[in-house]
Amino acid sequence: MAGDADGTKKNRFLIWGGNGWIAGHLKTLLEQQGKEVYATTVRMENREEVLAELKRIQPTHVLNAAGCTGRPNVDWCEDNKEATMRSNVIGTLNLADCCWLLNIHCTVFATGCIYQYDEAHPWDGPGFKETDPPNFAGSFYSMTKAHVEEILKQYSNCLILRLRMPVSDDLHPRNFVTKITKYEYVVDIPNSNTILTDLLPASVLLAEHGETGVYNFTNPGAISHNEVLTLFREIVRPSFTWKNFSLEEQAKVLKAGRSNCKLDTTKLETKLKEYGYEVPEVHEAYRRCFERMKAAGIE
Ligand SMILES: NC(=O)c1ccc[n+]([C@@H]2O[C@H](COP(=O)([O-])OP(=O)(O)OC[C@H]3O[C@@H](n4cnc5c(N)ncnc54)[C@H](OP(=O)(O)O)[C@@H]3O)[C@@H](O)[C@H]2O)c1
């Protein structure tokens, strides 16, 4: 185990899915914070290699940002079910299990795309809580994620963070904003979103404090596509225009369904308050995000 001269154990982070988008952001953040951080691309489902990597690097914390998300999008998972299961089910569980055996804390960057609005949870009503059973299996990707969470949450070393439609301060192709600015038509429906600049430091905080269990991991509140794009036009790109279409029209051009939902962030906000950390409401968070983009000269 990593240790200081005085014998206290120093945190050592190992990021899984090292070449991924969120993994890259995490690594940069931890380096900026002066933390000891490593990244790996070892396949999660390969038990021997996972155990060997954990024994070689001896992390105190694994941050699992690996997962099969499909390219160009989750529609890919519909036609590649075995590959999707090997990563999102077998691999994710295998990594958590190997960490448990070796007494390593394991944070899993999971998804909140396991819900859809229903009668008890309309868009202007209460959000889904961590304890609500998943009600969206419209895509194979979401189905694997919902099923694996049920088992994963029984591991006493696991912290499960449910991200939704992550947003970075640049226009990276995986940024939710980049995606909706490039679509020919966009739907207009409120959703919970994860602004990475606000939430990734919170993930480190929770991991460092050894927190476990499931957390909805988004900014508080929900924001519609049109609200996002209006703010984008106002702050980043005044010439921007877009066209809407209905959910029914969207369904015709997608292979798999897409989750639309609002998550309740009370549990997350309450926990983070213990550490003096606050996450801005989603509209305010977007405004700040777009202002950072503008300040960086992105247009
Ligand atoms: N971006 C989103 O919209 C979003 C939303 C909510 C949750 N998440 C979750 O957050 C995690 C990270 O997402 P991301 O956007 O950073 O995705 P990403 O850019 O596709 O990164 C995922 C990384 O995981 C690697 N990977 C896939 N299967 C693996 C396996 N079995 N073993 C080891 N590495 C594996 C991929 O490598 P290869 O390309 O070589 O396979 C890729 O480098 C994923 O689990 C995703 O489901 C993402």
Atom of ligand 1 nearest to the CA of 45: 31
Ligand 1: does its nearest atom lie under 6 Å from the Cβ of 26?
no
pLDDT of the residue at 3:
46
Atom of ligand 1 nearest to the CA of 145: 47
What percentage of the chain has pLDDT greater than the value 90? 90
Ligand 1: does its nearest atom lie under 6 Å from the Cβ of 43?
yes
Task: Give the other-Cβ count within 10 Å of 150's Cβ.
Answer: 11
Predicted confidence (pLDDT) per residue in 105-139, tens digit: 999 999 999 999 999 999 899 999 999 999 998 89
pLDDT of the residue at 167:
98
Ligand 1: does its nearest atom lie under 6 Å from the Cβ of 65?
yes
pLDDT of the residue at 1:
42
CA of 74 relative to ligand 1 center, distance in Å: 11
Ligand 1: does its nearest atom lie under 6 Å from the Cβ of 67?
yes
Predicted confidence (pLDDT) per residue in 6-50, tens digit: 555 799 999 999 999 999 999 999 999 999 999 999 999 999 999
What architecture is the 12-166+194-219+259-279 domain classified under in CATH? 3-Layer(aba) Sandwich (3.40)
Predicted confidence (pLDDT) per residue in 181-195, tens digit: 999 999 999 999 999
pLDDT of the residue at 258:
87
CA of 110 relative to ligand 1 center, distance in Å: 10
pLDDT band for position 254 (cuts 50, 70, 90):
confident
Ligand 1: does its nearest atom lie under 6 Å from the Cβ of 22?
yes
Ligand 1, atom 10: nearest CA belongs to which residue?
A: 109
CA of 195 relative to ligand 1 center, distance in Å: 17
Ligand 1: does its nearest atom lie under 6 Å from the Cβ of 149?
no
Q: Are 140 and 256 in contact (CB under 8 A)?
A: yes
Q: Which of 29, 43, 68 to mutate to test the pocket of ligand 1 (most atoms within 8 A of CB)?
A: 68
Predicted confidence (pLDDT) per residue in 54-101, tens digit: 999 999 999 999 999 999 889 999 999 999 999 999 999 999 999 999
Ligand 1: does its nearest atom lie under 6 Å from the Cβ of 49?
no
Q: How high is the mean pLDDT of the chain?
A: 95
Ligand 1: does its nearest atom lie under 6 Å from the Cβ of 91?
yes
Ligand 1, atom 9: nearest CA belongs to which residue?
A: 110
Global pTM value:
0.96
